[in-house]
Amino acid sequence: MTPLTRRAFTGALAALALAPRKGIALGRKPYGGVLKLKLPWPLDGIDPHAIDDAVAALFGPAIADPLYALDPAGRPYPALAAALPEPVKGGTRVAVRPNLLSGRGVALDARDVLASLARSERAGGAGLIAPLGKPAPDPKDALAITFTHPDPSFVAERLASPLTAVVPRGFSRGKPDGTGAFVAEVGRDQLVLRRNLNAARGAALLERIEIRAALDLKDALRAFEAGEIDVSWLGEFLHKPRPGAVKFDGGSLGWVLLRTGKDAGPWGAPGVAQKLVDALPAGRLSHLGLSNAGGVGQGDPAWGGEAAELLVVEGAVHLEQIARELSAIFSRPGHELRVASRPLAELAYRRERGRFALMLDVARPAGTGPGAAQLGVLTAENPALARKPTLTASGTPRDVAATLSLGVVGQLRASGAHVGSLRDLGALDWGATWRKP
């Protein structure tokens, strides 16, 4: 089966069908149906601007749109913008569509666009937005903003990333809101995406998508095998295949990173983490959904620092399983590593101040193109580095990680199986859903 792009995979999850039809249209109907799945990732919130949010990598485009999108040929076209950017004296002008409402009924204008871009620039979109120049309101139009960058095409391409999505002012990851095909409702160990009747580009055909937290990597397989959910994660079955199930490879969601902090002592120096993960045996982590992991460098994958904790965010059981595998490989007598999960807020505090020895998290690609992976890794290290990035010709994120206090463990892939009624996966986005007649 041909591997899917990350965008196509997110579309596939929304594809519990409806009557077949040709093309991708707005204002779609009829609608209905529920898609159910389990994920081994935290479901206590979703942040489209966060570089390290794996759930946003999957579902961010479902709830929040950027100003522009890219067609299959990579050409930008207006999404929330009223038209393509236009050149003006001193830069480029972008106007947002009038009468925009968020899923929760908040009216949006240029002030929300400016707030969204400022929020993104402090986080995952730093390397995308900084080169455009500081956006400013157009004093003559409440729906327009300007950039100092003179190239409208460049501006549109940078504003087509999911990391630059437009959200209402005061956005909260615990109560997310946007203009996408779905409205997200965060609950205890559950994320529900409901059809957004205010969707700027057309509401979803599905009535809702129900995502529950997986207890471990086998939990989703058990539930899929038992017919409780429609999409499995990281495998096709646990004991026996589900009749009619179809295997899929949803492509890359991003990269798993091993960070080193001040508590690692000399082992926290730039480049050490990458040398450590480069020494991993090739293919050792493939059963955990990681590709391009290990077998790159030479040496012994042994942790030489003091006994320490390897931190992961609470609820990321997929990441926790990878951490346990790494700790078993890296640990040596007197230099043992122990996996410990911590709340997101605590990890953010520790990461900002370097108060940890080792930490495992993820980085999404920043935009598209050959430098997107490297830019994402630089952003994960420090958004300031992404604002004026130094990228290598190879485009390989390991090349830039060699100078950072983190290492690229491998590429995180979304794979598994789905029920037979999901089809035509490569042609779908979140708004284009199908059902067998």
Residues 94, 219 share a domain: no
For residue 350, the surrounding DSSP H or E stretch is: helix 344-353
Q: Tens digit of pLDDT for each residue in 211-264?
A: 999 999 999 999 999 999 998 988 888 888 899 888 888 778 899 999 999 999
Cis before 152 (ω within 30): no
Q: Euclidean distance between the first and final Cα of the chain, in Å?
A: 23
Q: Tens digit of pLDDT for each residue in 348-366?
A: 999 999 999 999 999 999 9
Residue 226 lies in a domain: yes
In degrees to the nearest 10, what's the CA dihedral of 9, 13, 18, 22?
-10
Residue 387 lies in a domain: yes
Residues 423, 387 share a domain: no
Q: How would residue 7 be classed by pLDDT, with cut points 50, 70 and 90?
A: very low
Residues 370, 351 share a domain: yes
Residue 27 lies in a domain: yes
pTM of the model: 0.89
pLDDT above 50 (res 166) = yes
> Contact at 8 Å (CB) between 165 and 64?
yes
pLDDT for 31 equals 61
Angle at 387 between CA 314 and CA 409, to 5 degrees: 40
Residue 172 lies in a domain: no
CA–CA dist 51, 406 (Å, integer): 15
The pair of three-digit structure tokens given for residue 334, joined into one six-digit string: 């007197």
Domain C-terminal end among 140, 164, 188 = 164
Residue 170 lies in a domain: no
Residues 160, 87 share a domain: yes
SS3 at position 258: strand
Q: What is the percent of the chain with per-residue pLDDT over 70, rounded to a whole number?
A: 88
Residues 231, 109 share a domain: no
For residues 114-137, give the mean pLDDT. Answer: 96
Q: How would residue 115 be classed by pLDDT, with cut points 50, 70 and 90?
A: very high
Residues 388, 289 share a domain: yes
Domain C-terminal end among 134, 164, 194 = 164
Residues 391, 256 share a domain: yes
Range of the domain at 315: 252-413
Long-range contacts (CB closer than 8 Å, 24 or more residues apart) made by 232-237: 232/37, 232/416, 232/417, 232/418, 233/37, 233/38, 233/39, 233/40, 233/318, 233/414, 233/416, 234/40, 234/288, 234/289, 234/318, 234/415, 234/416, 235/415, 235/416, 235/417, 236/416, 236/417, 237/417
Residue 433 lies in a domain: no
Given CA atoms 187, 189, 195, 196 in this order, what sign does their dihedral have?
A: positive
What are the beta bridge partners of residue 339? 310
Residues 361, 409 share a domain: yes
pLDDT for 298 equals 67
Range name among 62-71, 149-158, 253-262, 294-303 with the lowest pLDDT average: 294-303
Q: How would residue 423 be classed by pLDDT, with cut points 50, 70 and 90?
A: low
Residues 257, 222 share a domain: no
The pair of three-digit structure tokens given for residue 386, joined into one six-digit string: 């992404």
Report the CATH number that the domain containing residue 284 is assigned in CATH: 3.10.105.10
Residue 84 lies in a domain: yes
Residues 225, 186 share a domain: yes
CA–CA dist 155, 212 (Å, integer): 38
What are the beta bridge partners of residue 136? 146
The pair of three-digit structure tokens given for residue 400, joined into one six-digit string: 């830039």
Report the CATH number that the domain containing residue 141 is assigned in CATH: 3.90.76.10
Residue 256 lies in a domain: yes
Please indicate whether residue 387 or residue 16 has the higher confidence score (pLDDT). Answer: 387
Other Cβ atoms less than 10 A from the Cβ of 73: the count is 5
pLDDT above 90 (res 196) = yes
Residues 275, 144 share a domain: no
pLDDT for 204 equals 85
Residues 370, 271 share a domain: yes
Q: Tens digit of pLDDT for each residue in 82-112?
A: 999 999 999 999 999 999 999 999 999 999 9
Short-list 66, 16, 24, 357, CA closest to 193: 16
Contacts for 89 with CB less than 8 Å, ≥ 6 apart? none
SS3 at position 291: strand
Please indicate whether residue 405 or residue 291 has the higher confidence score (pLDDT). Answer: 405
Q: How would residue 283 be classed by pLDDT, with cut points 50, 70 and 90?
A: confident
Number of domains in the chain: 3
pLDDT for 436 equals 34
β pairing state of 208-213 and 34-39: parallel
Domain C-terminal end among 116, 136, 164 = 164
Contacts for 19 with CB less than 8 Å, ≥ 6 apart? 30, 434, 435, 437
For residue 11, the surrounding DSSP H or E stretch is: helix 6-13
